[in-house]
Amino acid sequence: MHTPVMTDQVIYYLNCLPGRIYCDGTIGLGGHAKNILDCTSPDGMLLGIDMDSKALAAARERLAEFGDRAILVQGNYKDLPSILASQNLSEIDGVLLDLGVSSLQLDDSGRGFSFLRDEPLEMNFDIHGRRKASQIINQYPESRLAEIIWKYGQERWARRIARRIVAERKKTPIESTAHLVRIICSAVPRSKGKWRIHPATRTFQALRMEVNQELENLCQFLEVVWGCLKRGGRVCIISFHSLEDGMVKRSFREKAKANDGSSEHRMVEVLTKKPLKPSLEEVSMNPRSRSAKMRAAECH
């Protein structure tokens, strides 16, 4: 079962109270959602959104005990206003995004998120999604591949990897994770015969972000979320990538600076001057939490 990160901080900064309505925009397997529903008992409600239908099915089973207090919808959190409207909701008390990849996707999806197993190169959160990592690998120009791997993966060997990919795909299409891993390993040099981390780590991250348009989705969400919150409503975002954290940081600060005190505009207060990080104890128990950063803001 997926272990949610920074649960105490999430509950505190969302200000979870009975009778309120919250949204988990990346509900995954329902770990954070269960905590929110527990803390808002007996009459708090939660709207859970996820692109992954398999994750939603698992979350629905996990949250069955809460009955109609939990509403689950397949969709993209960037479309929060229209999803709220579809549920006859106008404004809510808080929104959570956990931008990490769930254990289900990494360990048991069969969609190529992990470089540790041989799976089809898909990497789409939505199992019916049209974009696939194999299309990117086999169709993008070398320069574009290098740009993605460098920008999203922060991979210093991005150009070498892109060059090897293009050379290999001229011989045969690259359709599996194992095939791609072999190419990457041949391109990334070792230091004293070893790699500090698995050489495919950053490239796989970059491809996943490109397939699912993760930065674009986050950018759109940060524009629309404020109109979805009640006065005093809060947004908490847990990110695992410096580009994501930077976007959240800039958006919160820009919204806070834009406060003009007029009744027509929502005022935004940044609640976390610096990003919150998991404790050393949490990281030791759940190593996947080590790169998590959380920021929170309140809408007045």
Core vs surface per residue 129-162: b (16+ CB within 10 A) or e: beebbbebbbebeeeebbbbbbebbebebbbbbb
Collect all residues with Cβ–Cβ distance below 8 Å to 124 and sequence separation of at least 6.
111, 131, 132, 211, 212
CATH number of the CATH domain containing 203: 1.10.150.170
Alpha-carbon gap, residue 196 to 86, rounded angstroms: 48
| In a shared domain, residues 207 and 218 | no
* 281 within domain boundaries: yes
Which candidate, 100, 162, 145, 134, places its Cα nearest to that of 292?
A: 100
| In a shared domain, residues 195 and 273 | no
| In a shared domain, residues 55 and 73 | yes
- What's the residue count for the chain? 300
Q: pLDDT value at position 263?
A: 45
* 111 within domain boundaries: no
Collect all residues with Cβ–Cβ distance below 8 Å to 241 and sequence separation of at least 6.
99, 152, 205, 209, 291
CATH number of the CATH domain containing 220: 3.40.50.150
| In a shared domain, residues 226 and 280 | yes
Q: Are 280 and 226 in contact (CB under 8 A)?
A: no
Q: Could you give the number of structural domains in the chain?
A: 2
Which candidate, 243, 219, 216, places its Cα nearest to that of 151?
A: 243
Q: pLDDT value at position 192?
A: 61
| In a shared domain, residues 42 and 184 | no
Residue that is last in its domain, among 192, 211, 230: 211
Collect all residues with Cβ–Cβ distance below 8 Å to 297 and sequence separation of at least 6.
234, 235, 252, 255, 256, 268, 269, 270, 271, 272
| In a shared domain, residues 241 and 203 | no
Q: pLDDT value at position 190?
A: 85
Domain with 162 in it: 132-211
* 13 within domain boundaries: yes
**Residue 176 DSSP symbol:** B
| In a shared domain, residues 14 and 82 | yes
Residue that is last in its domain, among 211, 240, 261: 211
Tens place of pLDDT for every residue, the chain, 300 residues?
Answer: 568 999 999 999 999 999 999 999 999 999 999 999 999 999 999 999 999 999 999 999 999 999 999 999 999 999 999 999 999 999 999 999 999 887 777 777 688 999 999 999 999 998 777 889 999 999 999 999 999 999 999 999 999 999 999 999 999 999 999 999 999 999 999 876 677 889 999 999 999 999 999 999 999 999 999 999 999 999 999 999 999 999 999 999 999 988 755 545 679 999 999 999 999 999 999 998 999 999 999 999
Phi-psi region of 19 (alpha: psi -120 to 50; beta: other; left: phi over 0): left
* 114 within domain boundaries: no
| In a shared domain, residues 291 and 220 | yes
Q: Pull the structure tokens for residue 290.
A: 């080590």
Residue that is last in its domain, among 163, 190, 211: 211
